[in-house]
């Protein structure tokens, strides 16, 4: 698996953003960072602050991970705290459960989303339930990092949107950052929580640079409006947020003022934030990469409908992946919600007439 | 590749008073186990997983641990291990009473995890916990020569699960202080060991992982204690994991809803069960004069009293408040869950 992964690893990795910055826990000011560097910085800070935080997974040590998210961490924090495991995802998650029982805060990496499937048993039957089963005696402070979603033409089972499973599992929390700023702050937040958090990193956004404001994280719970607008709310997460911002720019040229809401937390979802946005715009389109049927878009649509039924001008529209296995790279652009499909969704909502 | 060292039973024979103590524990376990089946028939328990025949394996293996600092990872058939570890029995039985899945006891107080229904799943937890003991020693600058050690229970059936391979491989790689204690009781519900364990022995698999193993008579409590002590000594001293395969026999059904008559005959059971672990120990202690008939009677009476007290406590155990469903999902409860709890309370308690 790791060999296959390595072949699709994009080029252009530089050294860590700043060795000096990695030596300080309290970062100040702001810095332009790619998302992979931002997560790397957050992990370094978490490891520096909490001597019981551990990073483990396949190739996370000497190599620094196939996406270099853990680059330099083993060198700085030692091979006891940042360590390679055998190639076995159930083992990685099961071992993390045991480490949490021993009082540690494991931050396991599953190398690619699709390799999470061999670990589903440990995640669903053990990690998610141990706090419940033991009536709080054995909490599971585990932050599970998963490079997620499509968009980089990767091999089969390297492009899954696992919120379609994990957002339904009692005992888990699920979050996905859409920008370097969000990635840095949400990782630091998630990795200090006492509950298991699945941290879904949009791998198509790993190399996009943007400003990380270390002084002002902003709110760390719930959703955020990343572009205000008056006519319609686009709800998205992970890699789809940037695409929705592009769509909003194009729609603005036609005089359509689109609000983009980055849902961020996929469990629990921010019902109040959705209601606040849509009660203003009165129209909503939810965009996600996972297949449509029983996807998280249905939950978002129902949440909006419960809160805003009286004022909605149209049913909540879904623009999603299709009910097919994630296809090969050459068909990826046909499968993923693209700008045109999202614009069509917007058009359907705007043109909707009550029968 | 280095060959796994052979594991020899601990050289010290058990003193008479320790054997008497083990006999007392095993007698209690047998009484409670037999009674729990009756409790199920009487409607006190919805279900139970009997462990008759495995008293020596369970009591003996826990005896080899330091229950003050080690940690035990059971499956669902380890009432005997729980009793030997000192777990509060009514709180343990709460899982079979359907009071709370996992029981009501504090897993950290008794250093005994909740029962595990997805067998083999907890083997990896034991490996992770054991690795944590190594990391503790490293962080605190202690030599890794006196480590708290994990005892993992698994059966011949669980050995078929992939997680057991991953656990043994991880434990071998990380040299974690864990003892894989295999109760080979001949049956995984209805499937006999010969249709379950390729090669015929779980202990033999240790060689492939470089893990020393010992196969012993699981119906002989002294053999279990001495064999497990050797395994614990190996793991505790920082040499890595060890495997104990205790050959025993599940004398009862898989569970109170099982019917062994569909897959084995009474003749099979008589032929294959081997010596009853409790009767043979009693006979030995009577024969060498350690116990007399009066002492045996007193021990049985004590076990009967214990069973009676446990039954009364289990019967008195009421259901947990429904609010606990919502309370224990997370350490930090979510707003959505709070709202569901409120709605539940309004609609079911009419407040």
DSSP bridge pairs for A265: A175
- Architecture in CATH for domain A224-351: 3-Layer(aba) Sandwich (3.40)
- What tens-digit pLDDT sequence spans chain A (355 residues)? 333 333 333 333 333 444 334 444 679 999 999 999 999 999 999 999 999 999 999 999 999 999 999 999 999 999 999 999 999 999 999 999 999 999 999 999 999 999 999 999 999 999 999 999 999 999 999 999 999 999 999 999 999 999 999 999 999 999 999 999 999 999 999 999 999 999 999 999 999 999 999 999 999 999 999 999 999 999 999 999 999 999 999 999 999 999 999 999 999 999 999 999 999 999 999 999 999 999 999 999 999 999 999 999 999 999 999 999 999 999 999 999 999 999 999 999 999 998 7
Tens of pLDDT, residues A37-69: 999 999 999 999 999 999 999 999 999 999 999
Selecting from B102, B124, B336 the residue whose C-beta is nearest the C-beta of A134 gives B102
Rounded CA separation A141/A101 (Å):
9
Tens of pLDDT, residues A164-174: 999 999 999 99
Q: Which of residues 254-273 of A touch B (CB under 8 A)?
A: 267-269, 271-272
pLDDT, position B351: 63
Measure B99 CA to nearest chain A CA, in Å.
12
Instruction: Concatenate the DSSP letters of all residues of B15-28 into one string.
Output: PHHHHHHHHHHHHH
Selecting from A80, A95, A268 the residue whose C-beta is nearest the C-beta of B124 gives A95
For A197, which residue in chain B has the nearest alpha carbon? B330
Which among A266, A257, A240, A254 has a CA at the least distance from the CA of A341?
Answer: A240
Selecting from A93, A99, A139 the residue whose C-beta is nearest the C-beta of B131 gives A99
Q: Which residues of A touch B127 (CB under 8 A)?
A: 91, 94-95, 98
Measure B6 CA to nearest chain A CA, in Å.
25
Whether residue B166 and residue A86 make contact (CB cut-off 8 A), yes or no, is yes
Rounded CA separation A346/A78 (Å):
51
Q: B16-320 maps to which CATH number? A: 3.40.50.970
Q: Which two tokens stand for residue B32?
A: 């409670």
DSSP alpha helix (H) spans, chain A: 2-7, 19-22, 35-49, 73-77, 89-101, 120-121, 130-133, 163-166, 180-190, 240-253, 271-281, 296-308, 332-335, 339-351
Assembly ipTM: 0.96
Whether residue A125 and residue B328 make contact (CB cut-off 8 A), yes or no, is no
Helix (H, G, I), strand (E, B) or coil at B192: strand
Whether residue B128 and residue A54 make contact (CB cut-off 8 A), yes or no, is no
A158 is catalytic: yes
Whether residue A95 and residue B128 make contact (CB cut-off 8 A), yes or no, is yes
Contact between residue A198 and residue A177 where contact means Cβ atoms under 8 Å apart: no
Q: How do the domains of chain A map onto residue ranges?
A: 2-213, 224-351
Selecting from B128, B324, B329 the residue whose C-beta is nearest the C-beta of A97 gives B128
The catalytic position among A158, A181, A231, A288 is: A158
Q: Which of residues 88-127 of A touch B (CB under 8 A)?
A: 88, 90-91, 93-104, 106, 121-122, 125-126
Q: Which residues of B touch A170 (CB under 8 A)?
A: 329
Rounded CA separation A263/A163 (Å):
12
Instruction: Concatenate the DSSP letters of all residues of A212-256 into one string.
Output: EESS-----SS-EEEE--SSEEEEE-TTHHHHHHHHHHHHHHTT-
Q: Which residues of A touch B327 (CB under 8 A)?
A: 136
Whether residue B336 and residue A99 make contact (CB cut-off 8 A), yes or no, is no
Q: Which residues of A touch B113 (CB under 8 A)?
A: 101, 134, 138
Contact between residue A244 and residue A260 where contact means Cβ atoms under 8 Å apart: yes
> Where, residue-wise, is CATH 3.40.50.970 in chain B?
16-320
Q: Could you tell me which CATH class the domain A2-213 is placed in?
A: alpha beta
A2-213 matches A224-351 in fold: yes
Whether residue B331 and residue A138 make contact (CB cut-off 8 A), yes or no, is no
Q: How far is CA B262 from CA A25, A327, B265, in A?
A: 65, 48, 8
Planar angle of CA B89, B94, B95, nearest 5 degrees: 115
Q: Which residues of A touch B101 (CB under 8 A)?
A: 133
Instruction: Concatenate the DSSP letters of all residues of A255-317 into one string.
Output: T--EEEEE--EEES--HHHHHHHHHHH--EEEEEEEESTTSHHHHHHHHHHHHHTTT-SSPPE
Rounded CA separation B250/B273 (Å):
8
- What tens-digit pLDDT sequence spans chain B (351 residues)? 556 778 999 999 999 999 999 999 999 999 999 999 999 999 999 999 999 999 999 999 999 999 999 999 999 999 999 999 999 999 999 999 999 999 999 999 999 999 999 989 999 999 999 999 999 999 999 999 999 999 999 998 899 999 999 999 999 999 999 999 999 988 888 888 888 889 889 999 999 999 999 999 999 999 999 999 999 999 999 999 999 999 988 888 888 888 888 888 888 888 888 889 999 999 999 999 999 999 999 999 999 999 999 999 999 999 999 999 999 999 999 999 999 999 999 998 766
Q: Which residues of A touch B324 (CB under 8 A)?
A: 135
Rounded CA separation A222/A211 (Å):
21
For A56, which residue in chain B has the nearest alpha carbon? B128
Q: Which two tokens stand for residue A188?
A: 């630091």
Instruction: Give the alpha-carbon dihedral of B329, A130, B170, A191, to 10 degrees.
Output: 30
DSSP bridge pairs for A318: A286
Rounded CA separation A256/A232 (Å):
8
Q: How far is CA B24 from CA B20, B43, B59, B248, B302, in A?
A: 6, 28, 10, 20, 9
Whether residue B129 and residue A88 make contact (CB cut-off 8 A), yes or no, is no
Q: Which residues of B touch A54 (CB under 8 A)?
A: 135
Measure A94 CA to nearest chain B CA, in Å.
5
């Amino acid at each position: 698996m790791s060999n296959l992964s390595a072949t699709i690893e994009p080029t252009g990795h530089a050294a860590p953003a700043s060795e000096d910055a990695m030596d300080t826990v309290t970062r100040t000011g702001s810095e332009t960072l790619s998302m992979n560097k931002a997560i790397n910085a957050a992990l370094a800070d978490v490891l520096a602050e909490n001597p019981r935080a551990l990073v483990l997974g396949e190739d996370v040590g000497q190599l620094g991970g196939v996406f270099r998210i853990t680059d330099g961490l083993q060198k700085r924090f030692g091979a006891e705290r940042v360590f390679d495991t055998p190639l076995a995802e159930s083992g990685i998650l099961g071992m993390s459960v045991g480490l949490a029982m021993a009082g540690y805060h494991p931050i396991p990496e599953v190398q690619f989303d699709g390799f999470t499937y061999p670990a589903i048993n440990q995640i669903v039957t053990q990690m998610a339930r141990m706090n419940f089963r033991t009536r709080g005696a054995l909490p599971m402070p585990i932050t599970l990092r998963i490079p997620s979603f499509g968009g980089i033409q990767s091999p089969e089972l390297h492009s899954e949107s696992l919120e379609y499973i994990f957002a339904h599992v009692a005992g888990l929390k699920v979050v996905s950052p859409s920008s370097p700023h969000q990635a840095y702050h949400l990782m630091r937040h998630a990795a200090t929580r006492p509950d298991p958090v699945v941290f879904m990193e949009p791998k198509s956004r790993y190399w996009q640079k943007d400003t990380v404001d270390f002084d002002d994280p902003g709110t760390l719970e719930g959703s955020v409006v990343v572009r205000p607008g008056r006519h319609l709310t686009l709800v998205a997460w992970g890699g789809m947020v940037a695409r929705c911002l592009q769509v909003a720019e194009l729609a603005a040229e036609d005089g359509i003022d689109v609000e983009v809401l980055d849902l961020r937390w996929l469990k629990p979802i921010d019902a109040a934030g959705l209601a606040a946005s849509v009660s203003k715009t009165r129209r909503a389109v939810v965009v996600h990469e996972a297949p449509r049927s029983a996807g998280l878009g249905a939950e978002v649509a129902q949440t909006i409908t419960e809160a805003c039924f009286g004022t909605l001008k149209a049913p909540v529209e879904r623009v999603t992946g299709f009910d097919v296995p994630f296809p090969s790279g050459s068909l990826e652009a046909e499968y993923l919600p693209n700008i045109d499909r999202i614009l069509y969704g917007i058009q359907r909502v705007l043109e909707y007439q009550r029968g | 590749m280095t060959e796994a060292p052979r594991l020899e039973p601990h050289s010290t024979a058990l003193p008479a008073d320790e054997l008497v103590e083990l006999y007392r524990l095993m007698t209690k376990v047998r009484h409670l186990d037999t009674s729990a089946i009756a409790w199920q028939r009487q409607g006190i328990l919805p279900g139970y997983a009997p462990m008759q025949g495995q008293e020596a394996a369970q009591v003996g293996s826990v005896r080899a641990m330091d229950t003050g600092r080690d940690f035990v990872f059971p499956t669902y058939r380890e009432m005997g291990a729980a009793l030997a570890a000192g777990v509060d029995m009514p709180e343990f039985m709460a899982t079979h009473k359907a009071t709370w899945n996992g029981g009501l006891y504090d897993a950290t107080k008794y250093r005994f995890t909740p029962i595990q229904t997805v067998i083999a799943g907890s083997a990896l937890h034991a490996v992770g916990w054991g690795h944590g003991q190594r990391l503790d020693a490293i962080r605190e600058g202690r030599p890794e020569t006196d480590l708290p050690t994990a005892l993992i229970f698994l059966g011949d059936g669980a050995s078929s699960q992939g997680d057991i391979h991953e656990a043994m491989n991880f434990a071998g790689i990380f040299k974690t202080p864990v003892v894989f204690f295999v109760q080979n009781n001949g049956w995984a519900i209805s499937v006999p060991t010969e249709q379950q364990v390729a090669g015929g022995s779980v202990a033999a698999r240790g060689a492939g992982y470089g893990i020393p193993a010992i196969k012993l008579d699981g119906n002989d409590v002294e053999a279990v204690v001495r064999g497990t002590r050797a395994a614990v000594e190996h793991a505790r001293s920082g040499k890595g994991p060890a495997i104990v395969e205790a050959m025993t026999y599940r004398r009862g059904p898989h569970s109170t809803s099982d019917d062994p008559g569909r897959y084995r005959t009474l003749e099979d059971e008589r032929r294959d069960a081997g010596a009853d672990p409790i009767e043979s120990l009693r006979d030995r202690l009577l024969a060498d004069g350690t116990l007399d008939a009066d002492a045996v009677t007193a021990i049985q009476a004590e076990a009967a009293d214990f069973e009676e007290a446990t039954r009364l406590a289990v019967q008195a155990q009421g259901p947990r408040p429904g609010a606990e469903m919502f309370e224990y999902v997370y350490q930090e409860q979510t707003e959505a869950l709070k709202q569901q709890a409120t709605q539940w309370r309004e609609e079911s308690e009419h407040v």
